[in-house]
Amino acid sequence: MKDLPKTNLATLENQIPKGKYMLFFTAGWCPDCRFIKPAMPEIEQKYSDYTFLKVDRDENIDLAGEMGIMGIPSFVAYSDGHEIGRFSNPDRKTKQEVESFIDSLNK
């Protein structure tokens, strides 16, 4: 998973004009983020049509604010530069919940 450097929403959307991307908002101090982190390589492999980008919420606090990301971990999906869905709430997320979210995008 690639780390997204500090950026803002306009720059981000210009960097991902084509293809499918999954933003994974996380932070090192977040216990719920540490809970899902071990499952991420499997999720990435299963959904290889997406490029996964790890977004450090603390480093990208302005981006998180612009996008309305209040709880982490959060997932935001993009296709061809446009947001197509998000799984964002303050709850712990399981591998099955993340996969169900991604599956729902392909319907």
Active site residues: 30, 33
- Do residues 52 and 22 lie in contact, with contact meaning Cβ atoms separated by under 8 Å? yes
Query: Residue 30 carries which side chain, given as an amino acid letter?
Result: C
The two three-digit tokens of residue 81, written as one number: 């530069």
Calculate the CA dihedral of residues 92, 66, 3, 76 and round it to 10 degrees.
50
The residue assigned the tokens 């971990």 is 73
Q: What whole-number distance in Å separates Cα of residue 89 and Cα of residue 11?
A: 24
